[in-house]
C-alpha cells in the first residue's frame, strides 16, 4: 500500500471509531469512553497486519461488530469493549491474562467465552455441528453477553460474505438459519433475527430472494400510499385524544414472505397481508396500558377487527419480554392489516430486547425473563444425554416456538410453547410433579395426556406415587425439558431391567451348557440382530427373547452357527457386500410422524442408512420420501433450509412393538374382585389398560379388558396371573 492509501485507511478507521461512540444506545460516561478507547487501541495494534478476504483492514470487522452491539442491540461499555476485542486472543499474540490485566475480569471472561466458540470452528465438520452448538450454549452460563456479541459477529459476517466461495456461503448461511436466527429470536433481537433469516435466504436460494426483493421494491410507492390512507382515517381521532404518536408501516421480511408462499402454496401476489402498521405512542409508566386500549378502541371504531386475531401481550408479555397489542382489521380497499400498538418503551424493548430491559429496570436488578430462560437452558444442557442432533432439534423447537399462556389451579399464569401438552405443563411446574403424573384435568375435565393446550386453559395435574414415565410419554411431550427427563428415566429403567435380564440369561444358558461370556454375548447380539449387549439383556428381561428362542440359539451355537460365524469373522465384507435383508429381520419396519404411519420411502445414497440407524425423512419433490441418517453430511443443510419438508422417522424393532389385546373374563361375582383384577394388571404386571367393561347377572360376572403388551409371552403371563384370582373361572383372549 502507498503512504497515501495508508493515511486514507487510518482516517476511515478514526471516523468509524467516532461513529461508534456517537451511535451508542447507552449514555456513555467518561470512564466508559476511556474503556472503549483503550480496547480500540489494543484491537488496532493486535490486528494491524491482518486483512479480510475482501482486502480491507481486519480492524473494520471488530469495529462493525461493536457498532451493532452499541446501537442495534444497545449493550453497555463493557460489551462494546469486549466486541472490539473479540478476536484478539484467537488471532493475535495477546493473551487472556493480558486482557484481564488491562481491562478487568469481566471483559476477559466475555472474550474467553467468545474465543471458546471460535475454537469450535477449528474442529468443525457437519456431523459435529450439533454437538458444537451444545458446547456453545454452555458459554451462556458464564455471561449472556457472550452469545449476544456472537450473534452480532455472525450478523456482520453475513453482511460481508460476498467475497467468500459459494460453498462456504451456503454452509455459513445454513448454520445461521439453524442456530443463530432462533437464538436471536429467543433473546428478543427481532430485527437482527429477521436480517439473519433474509441474508441466509440470499445465499441458500438467491433466485427466490432476488425475485421477492425486486417485487417489494416495485410496490414501495403503492405500499406507502396505502399506509398514508390508513393513517389519514384514524389521524384526527387520535389527535382529538391529545395523543403523541407516530404511525409506521413495516413490510414483512423476504424470508417470512417465502415461508408464507410455501406454507399456503401461493404466489407473492396472492399473499394478502404483506405488511403491518405500527402505532407507537408516548406515555408515562402509569398510563401505558390505558392508552394502548384507548388506541385499540379508536382503530376498531374506524376499521372492523378480526375477533380471533387479537393478541394481548401487554397483560401477559412474552417470555422474551415483548409487550404490545396486535389486532388485525379490515383496512382500506378491503385488505386485512395487522396493527401493532406499542408505547415507546415497548417499542425499544421490541427493537433492542435484553438491553432495553436494563435501561427501564434501572440499577443492577436483572430482567427476570432472561434469567428464567437461562436457568431452563442450563437445566436442559445438564440433562441432555441424548445424541446432539436430537438435542438441537428439540432445543431449536423451543427457541422458535410461539407461546401460549395457561393457568394453574390457583390462578398463576404459566408460559409454554405452542403445541404443549398437560405432560409438558407438569414438568414445567416441577420435575417431581412430571415424574408422578397420573392424569390431567383441563378446565375441570379429565383429558388425555397428549391433549394440545390452548391459551387460557386452566390445567390441574393428578399425581400418584405409583406413576412412572413410560415410552408413550415421549409421544405426548413436546418440550425439551420434559423429553430430556423422560428419556433419562427410561434409560435408567432399561438398565435396571437389563441387569435382571443378564442374570436370567446366565441361568438359562447354563442349562444349555453355554457360559455367558464376551464371545457368547457377541454371538447372541449378532444372532438376534441387535445392536448392543444392553438390548440383548433388556429383551431377555422383558421376556421378548424367551426359552424357545434361546434353545434355537443354543442349537445353532453348537452346530452350524459356529462355522457360519467363523467364516464371517475371517473376512470383513465391504459395505456393498453386506446383506441388508439379514439386518432387517429384526428392525423390519420404518414408520413416520407422530402417528407412526407406514409410508413408501427410499434410502438415500449420500449416507446409506441401515435399519437401526437414527434417521429422518425428507419429502423430496420428485422421489417421494428419502430417508437420511441424523448425522448425514446433508442433514444440517436439509433441516436448515427445508424444515417444512422434514418428517420424523424411526425403525420399529418387532420385539419392542406394542400390541393391543382383548381379554374376556368370567366367574363368580364377589366384593373387591375388580380391584384384584386391576391390581394384577397395573401394579404387579405394569401393563397399560385401554378399556375396562364389566357386567353382572345373578351372582356371576362377565368382563372384557383391552390391554397393551409388548409380546405374547407377557400376555400369557398376564392371563396366567388373572386365573389365580379367587372367583375367576375362565380367562380367554378374544
Q: Which range has the worst mean pLDDT, 380-394, 488-502, 516-530, 596-610?
A: 380-394
Cα 435 from Cα 469, distance rounded (Å): 6
What are the backbone angles phi and psi of residue 58, rounded to the nearest 5°? -60, -30
How many Å apart are CA 531 and CA 613, to the nearest integer? Answer: 10
- pLDDT per residue over 325-348, tens digit each? 999 888 888 888 889 999 998 898
- Known catalytic membership, residue 91: yes
Average pLDDT of the segment spanning 646-654 = 77
* Highest mean pLDDT of the ranges 122-131, 338-347, 468-477, 522-531: 338-347
Domain borders along the chain are 3-204, 214-361, 383-486, 589-652, 659-733
State the DSSP code for 269: G
DSSP state of 532: -
| For the chain, percent of residues with pLDDT exceeding 70 | 83
CA dihedral of 700, 702, 707, 711, whole degrees rounded to 10: 80
Q: Where are the alpha helices (DSSP H) in 669-711?
A: 673-678
Report which secondary-structure segment, H or E, holds 8. helix 3-22
Q: Do domains 214-361 and 659-733 have the same CATH topology?
A: no
Q: What is the pLDDT of residue 177?
A: 82
Q: Please check the confidence at residue 561 and state whether its pLDDT lies above 60.
A: no
Identify the pLDDT of residue 210.
93
Q: Is the dihedral of CA 131, 135, 138, 139 positive or negative?
A: negative
| Mean of pLDDT over the chain | 80
| DSSP secondary structure string for all residues of 625-639 | EEEEETT-TTHHHHH
Hey, which CATH number is domain 383-486, 3.40.640.10, 3.40.50.720, 2.40.30.10, 3.10.20.30? 3.10.20.30
Pairwise pLDDT comparison (412 vs 461), residue with the higher score: 461
The confidence score (pLDDT) of residue 415 equals: 77
Higher per-residue confidence, 395 vs 194: 194
Residue 114: per-residue pLDDT? 81
Q: Say how far apart CA 662 and CA 298 lie, in whole Å.
A: 63
CA 477 centroid distance within chain: 13
Quick check: 356 and 74 in contact, CB under 8 A?
yes
H/E run at residue 703 = strand 700-709
pLDDT band, very low/low/confident/very high, at 301 (cuts 50, 70, 90):
very high
From the list 477, 525, 523, the residue with the least C-alpha distance to 498 is: 525
The pLDDT assigned to 142 comes to 58
**Closest to 101 in 3D by CA, of 159, 157, 42, 156:** 42
Looking at per-residue pLDDT, the higher value among 643 and 230 belongs to 230
- Please name the residue ranges forming H helices in 401-472: 422-429, 431-435
Does residue 395 carry a pLDDT above 70? no
For 50-62, give the DSSP string: -B-TTSSBTTHHH
With bands split at pLDDT 50, 70 and 90, how would you rate the model's confidence at 129? Answer: low
Q: Of 16, 19, 56, 91, which is the active-site residue?
A: 91
According to the model, what pLDDT value does residue 169 have? 86
95-99, 109-113, 485-489, 668-672, range with the lowest pLDDT: 668-672
Question: In which residue are the cell numbers 455459513 written?
Answer: 172
Report residue 206: phi and psi, to 5°.
-60, -35
Helices (H), 47-189: 60-67, 77-84, 88-91, 96-103, 105-122, 129-138, 144-159, 166-175, 181-187
pLDDT digits (tens, 9 = 90+) for 490-499: 888 888 888 8
Q: Which of 323, 276, 281 is nearest to 298 (CA)?
A: 281
| Neighbour tally for 406: CB within 10 Å | 22
Residue 230 has pLDDT above 80, yes or no: yes
**Cell digits for 145?**
453477553
> Could you tell me if 322 and 350 are in contact, meaning their C-beta atoms sit under 8 angstroms apart?
yes
- In sequence order, the 6+-apart residues with CB closer than 8 A to the CB of 266 are 260
CATH 3.30.70.260 fits 659-733, yes or no: yes
Residue pair 276/252 in contact by the 8 Å Cβ criterion: yes
Sole residue written with cell 434417521: 615
C-alpha dist (Å) from residue 342 to 233, 246, 301, 351: 19, 10, 18, 11
pLDDT at 312 over 60: yes
d(CA 389, CA 373): 21
Residue 485, pLDDT score: 84
Contacts of 504 (CB under 8 A, 6+ apart): 540, 541
Which whole number is the average pLDDT over 694-704?
81
Q: What count of other Cβ atoms lies within 10 Å of the Cβ of residue 88?
A: 24
At residue 86, the 3 state secondary structure works out as coil
**Residue tagged active-site, from 9, 16, 56, 90:** 90
User: In the 8-state DSSP scheme, what is residue 367?
Assistant: P
| Greatest CA separation for the chain | 111
Q: What is the DSSP string of 281-329?
A: E---GGGHHHHHHHHHHHHHHHS-B-GGG-EETTTS--TT----EEEEE
Q: In the prediction, which pLDDT does 469 show?
A: 87
Q: Quote the distance between the C-alpha of residue 454 and its chain's center.
A: 20
Residues 6+ away with beta carbon under 8 Å from 394: 386, 479, 480, 483, 484
Say if domain 3-204 classifies as CATH 1.10.3210.10. yes
CA distances in angstroms from 25 to 20, 185, 280, 675, listed in the order given: 10, 20, 19, 69
Does the pLDDT at position 566 exceed 60? no
How many other C-beta atoms lie within 10 A of the C-beta of residue 308?
6
Beta strands (DSSP E) in 499-611 are 589-592, 601-603
| C-alpha to C-alpha distances, 472 to 337, 388, 475, 549, 708, nearest whole angstrom | 43, 22, 5, 27, 11
- CATH number for region 214-361: 3.30.460.10
Mean of the pLDDT values across residues 118-133?
A: 51
Stretch among 378-387, 403-412, 541-550 having the lowest mean pLDDT = 378-387
The pLDDT assigned to 135 comes to: 60
- Polymer length in residues for the chain: 734
- Confidence at residue 92, expressed as pLDDT on a 0 to 100 scale: 82
- For residue 557 the three cell numbers come to 451355537
Average pLDDT over residues 94-110: 88
Q: Which three cell numbers stand for residue 225?
A: 400510499
Check residue 122 and give its pLDDT. Answer: 44
Sheet holding 700-709, edge to edge: 688-697, 700-709, 659-668, 728-733
Q: Is the pLDDT of residue 645 over 70?
A: yes
Question: pTM for the whole thing?
Answer: 0.61
Per-residue model confidence (pLDDT) at position 717: 84
Of the two residues 731 and 196, the one the predictor is more confident about is 196
Active site residue 697: no
Q: How many whole angstroms separate alpha carbon 665 and alpha carbon 554?
A: 38
In this structure, are residues 288 and 343 in contact, taking their beta carbons and an 8 Å threshold? Answer: yes
Q: What percent of the chain has pLDDT over 90?
A: 15
Cα gap 720→724, rounded to integer Å? 7
Residue 556 is predicted with a pLDDT of 75
The pLDDT of 643-652, averaged and rounded, is 79
Give which of 356, 393, 20, 369 is closest to 191, Cα–Cα.
356
The angle that helices 144-159 and 190-204 make with each other, rounded to 10 degrees, is: 40
Q: Which residue has the higher pLDDT, 357 or 609?
A: 609
Helix (H, G, I), strand (E, B) or coil at 648: strand
d(CA 387, CA 131): 8
Q: Quick check: 130 pLDDT over 70?
A: no
Residue 151's contacts (CB-CB under 8 Å, 6 or more residues apart) are 73, 180, 183, 184, 187, 189, 192, 196
The helix/strand count (H/E) of the chain reads as: 32, 19
pLDDT of res. 123 = 42
Amino acid at each position: 500500500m502507498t503512504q497515501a492509501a495508508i493515511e486514507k485507511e487510518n482516517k476511515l478507521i478514526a471516523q468509524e471509531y467516532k461513529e461508534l461512540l456517537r451511535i451508542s444506545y447507552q449514555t456513555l460516561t467518561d470512564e466508559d469512553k476511556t474503556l472503549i478507547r483503550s480496547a480500540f487501541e489494543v484491537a488496532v495494534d493486535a490486528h494491524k497486519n491482518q486483512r479480510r478476504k475482501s482486502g480491507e483492514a481486519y480492524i473494520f470487522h471488530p469495529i462493525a461488530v461493536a457498532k451493532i452491539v452499541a446501537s442495534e442491540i444497545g449493550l453497555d461499555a463493557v460489551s462494546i469493549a469486549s466486541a472490539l476485542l473479540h478476536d484478539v486472543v484467537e488471532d493475535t499474540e495477546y493473551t487472556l491474562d493480558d486482557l484481564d490485566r488491562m481491562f478487568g475480569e469481566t471483559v476477559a471472561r466475555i472474550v474467553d467465552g467468545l474465543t471458546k466458540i471460535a475454537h469450535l470452528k477449528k474442529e468443525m465438520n457437519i456431523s459435529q455441528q450439533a454437538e458444537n452448538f451444545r458446547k456453545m450454549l454452555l458459554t451462556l452460563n458464564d455471561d449472556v453477553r457472550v452469545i449476544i456479541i456472537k450473534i452480532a459477529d455472525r450478523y456482520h459476517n453475513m453482511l460481508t460474505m460476498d467475497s467468500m466461495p459459494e460453498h462456504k456461503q451456503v454452509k455459513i448461511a445454513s448454520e445461521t438459519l439453524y442456530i443463530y436466527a432462533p437464538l436471536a429470536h429467543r433473546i428478543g433481537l427481532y430485527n437482527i433475527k429477521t436480517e439473519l433469516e433474509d441474508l441466509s435466504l440470499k445465499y441458500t436460494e438467491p433466485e427466490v430472494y432476488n425475485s421477492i426483493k425486486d417485487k417489494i421494491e416495485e410496490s414501495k410507492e403503492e405500499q406507502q400510499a396505502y399506509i398514508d390512507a390508513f393513517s389519514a382515517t384514524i389521524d384526527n381521532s387520535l389527535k382529538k385524544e391529545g395523543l403523541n404518536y407516530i404511525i409506521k408501516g413495516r413490510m414483512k421480511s423476504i424470508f417470512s414472505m417465502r415461508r408464507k408462499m410455501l406454507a399456503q402454496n401461493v404466489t407473492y401476489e396472492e399473499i394478502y397481508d404483506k405488511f403491518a402498521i405500527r402505532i407507537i405512542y408516548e406515555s408515562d409508566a402509569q398510563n401505558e396500558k390505558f392508552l394502548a386500549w384507548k388506541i385499540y378502541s379508536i382503530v376498531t371504531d374506524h376499521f372492523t377487527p378480526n375477533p380471533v386475531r387479537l393478541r394481548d401481550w401487554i397483560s401477559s408479555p412474552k417470555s422474551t419480554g415483548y409487550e404490545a397489542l396486535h389486532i388485525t382489521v379490515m383496512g382500506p380497499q378491503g385488505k386485512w392489516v395487522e396493527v401493532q400498538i406499542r408505547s415507546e418503551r415497548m417499542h425499544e424493548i421490541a427493537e433492542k430486547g435484553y438491553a432495553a430491559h436494563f435501561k427501564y429496570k434501572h440499577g443492577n436488578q436483572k430482567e427476570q425473563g432472561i434469567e428464567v430462560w437461562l436457568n431452563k437452558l442450563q437445566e436442559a444442557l445438564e440433562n441432555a444425554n441424548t445424541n446432539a442432533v436430537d438435542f438441537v432439534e428439540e432445543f431449536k423447537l423451543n427457541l422458535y416456538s410461539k407461546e401460549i399462556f395457561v393457568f394453574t389451579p390457583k390462578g398463576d399464569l404459566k408460559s409454554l410453547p405452542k403445541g404443549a401438552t398437560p405432560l409438558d405443563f407438569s414438568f414445567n411446574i416441577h420435575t417431581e410433579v412430571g415424574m408422578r403424573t397420573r392424569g390431567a384435568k383441563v378446565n375441570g375435565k379429565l383429558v388425555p395426556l397428549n391433549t394440545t393446550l390452548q391459551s387460557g386453559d386452566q390445567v390441574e395435574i393428578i399425581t400418584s406415587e405409583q406413576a412412572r414415565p413410560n415410552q408413550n410419554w415421549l409421544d405426548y411431550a413436546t418440550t425439551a425439558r420434559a423429553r430430556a427427563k423422560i428419556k433419562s428415566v427410561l434409560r435408567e429403567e432399561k438398565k435396571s431391567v437389563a441387569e435382571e435380564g443378564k442374570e436370567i440369561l446366565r441361568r438359562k444358558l447354563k442349562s444349555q451348557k453355554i457360559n455367558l461370556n464376551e464371545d457368547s454375548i457377541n454371538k447372541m447380539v449378532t444372532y438376534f440382530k441387535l445392536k448392543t449387549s444392553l438390548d440383548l439383556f433388556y429383551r431377555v428381561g422383558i421376556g421378548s427373547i424367551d426359552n424357545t428362542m434361546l434353545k434355537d440359539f443354543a442349537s445353532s451355537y453348537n452346530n452350524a452357527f459356529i462355522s457360519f460365524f467363523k467364516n464371517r469373522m475371517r473376512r470383513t465384507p465391504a459395505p456393498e457386500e453386506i446383506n441388508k435383508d439379514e439386518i432387517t429381520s429384526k428392525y423390519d419396519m420404518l414408520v413416520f410422524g407422530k402417528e407412526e404411519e407406514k409410508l413408501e420411502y427410499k434410502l438415500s445414497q449420500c449416507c446409506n442408512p441401515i435399519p437401526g440407524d437414527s434417521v429422518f425423512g425428507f419429502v423430496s419433490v420428485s422421489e417421494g420420501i428419502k430417508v437420511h441418517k441424523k448425522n448425514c453430511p446433508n442433514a444440517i443443510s436439509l433441516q436448515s433450509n427445508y424444515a417444512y419438508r422434514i418428517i420424523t422417522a424411526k425403525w420399529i424393532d418387532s420385539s419392542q412393538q406394542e400390541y393391543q389385546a382383548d381379554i374376556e373374563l368370567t366367574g363368580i361375582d364377589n366384593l373387591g374382585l375388580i380391584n384384584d383384577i386391576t391390581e394384577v394388571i397395573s401394579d404387579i404386571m405394569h401393563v397399560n389398560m385401554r378399556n375396562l367393561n364389566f357386567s353382572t347377572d345373578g351372582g356371576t360376572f362377565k368382563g372384557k379388558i383391552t390391554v397393551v403388551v409388548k409380546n405374547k409371552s407377557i400376555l400369557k403371563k398376564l392371563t396366567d396371573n388373572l386365573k389365580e384370582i379367587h372367583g375367576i373361572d375362565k380367562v380367554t383372549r378374544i
